[in-house]
Structure 1
């Protein structure tokens, strides 16, 4: 039950964000600030919840190599979708949006396996903060190129369902995997999250909010670190 609630709330943030972008008022600076804040929190969660456990219990060289493989995988896929596929088309745009969200949602599903409530809160809260402005900004930008807001909303609903499925698959398919291999899978997801932050989140935040991005990132980082200390 907890898994379903967390996944649905996080993915539902995409739909709420899309509604905000289509029918509400979201300034570029506020969007950039929120994206950077979420990026800082996600960076901490990726390090502490996904990568660090493997460094404590598993082979350090293998764990770090797996992080690198995760980053390479995301980078290659991101390049292929953005540069080789027409990301302005319906299918290409859906693929781009989905690719950006899969690492975080897969990591969320995996982290729900045997994690403490505060650890879950740290990661899911970071993803939720990331999903809201990302969906709002994306939907607003898409609305500038088409008159059908309903079609855009359905696109985001479809994306939310796909990412929910990724989280559920990550959770249920890997529930019986040994801790050693689960830690390596988390490292892979952590590397993919780190690459997505560098390629998608922080550049977008700086473009919209300039030098406030650094402060927003630090705020997100501090909040995530503080939440993590509560679980110790």
Structure 2
């Protein structure tokens, strides 16, 4: 089962490579990238509400769920502030900063997949879809910025390949470590991942989508939410 956690983590992270490929070879308008990001935000919100938070509450109760959410939100908040500060430093590479941001997002997302295997015995399809979709615009935007700065394709794809491997290892670690602990820690870890992802959606994905496509951001996010809810219902 631990190997399945690694495989599913790599599958979810593979969308980073797809996004990087799109950013390198395609010239997508900013409005298209914003639409993808808004859709991914809606998918993630649904997965959080119906999968992660619900699972954490059923496993560990309200107190553990609340503590995990708060800790996850704070972890992402401070990590994101460090990345944002670095991106404002003269001479810094904004594409690399976006890549670091994707890594910060990807670790809790991948851990959530591995933890889901511990809690439910199978990969969470709604969460897998949500992560896969939300990864694409981050990698796409970062690759486009790095390409404009003159970076070579080899270095860019090596970067995203490394992030994909980290995602797989994070999923494996989430399963391997939490399968040896009591349900309370599992519930806390699920909520921790949920708090980090929710803060990322609110601080990054929705504002960036709205800045480009503010007229339709809410509608597109709703479509993403309904898509994830349909997957959740069918699964």
TM-superposed CA distance for 1:133, in Å, is 2.2
Q: Secondary structure at the match of 2:178?
A: coil
**What is the distance in 2 between the residues matched to 1:205 and 1:108?**
25
TM-superposed CA distance for 1:210, in Å, is 2.1
**Residue 72 (1) aligns with residue 77 (2):** no
Change (3 A) 1:58 1:162: closer
Q: 8 Å contact 1:74–1:196 — kept in the other structure?
A: yes
Does 161-170 or 35-44 show the bigger shift? 161-170
**What is the distance in 1 between the residues matched to 2:25 and 2:86?**
32
**What is the distance in 2 between the residues matched to 1:99 and 1:122?**
21
TM-superposed CA distance for 1:7, in Å, is 1.9
TM-superposed CA distance for 1:96, in Å, is 3.0
**Residue 148 (1) aligns with residue 152 (2):** yes
**What is the distance in 2 between the residues matched to 1:57 and 1:113?**
11
After TM superposition, the score normalised by the length of structure 2 is 0.88
Count of residues paired in the alignment: 230
**What is the distance in 1 between the residues matched to 2:204 and 2:28?**
19
The equivalent of 1:113 in structure 2 is 118
The equivalent of 2:51 in structure 1 is 49
Change (3 A) 1:176 1:204: same
Could you tell me which runs of 5 or more consecutive residues in structure 2 were left unpaired when the two chains were aligned. none
* Aligned pair partner of 2:84 in 82, 94, 101: 82
**Residue 16 (1) aligns with residue 18 (2):** yes
**Residue 99 (1) aligns with residue 104 (2):** yes
TM-superposed CA distance for 1:209, in Å, is 2.1
The Cα offsets for residues 36-59 of structure 1, whole Å up to 9 and x where unpaired, read as 111111111112221122333433
TM-superposed CA distance for 1:94, in Å, is 4.5
Q: Secondary structure at the match of 2:124?
A: helix
**What is the distance in 2 between the residues matched to 1:152 and 1:124?**
24
Change (3 A) 1:204 1:93: closer
**What is the distance in 2 between the residues matched to 1:164 and 1:66?**
22
Alpha carbon RMSD of aligned pairs, Å? 2.2
Could you tell me which runs of 5 or more consecutive residues in structure 1 were left unpaired when the two chains were aligned. none
The Cα offsets for residues 150-170 of structure 1, whole Å up to 9 and x where unpaired, read as 221221112111222212211
**Residue 27 (1) aligns with residue 29 (2):** yes
The equivalent of 1:188 in structure 2 is 192
TM-superposed CA distance for 1:127, in Å, is 0.4
The Cα offsets for residues 158-186 of structure 1, whole Å up to 9 and x where unpaired, read as 21112222122112221222222211111
After TM superposition, the score normalised by the length of structure 1 is 0.89
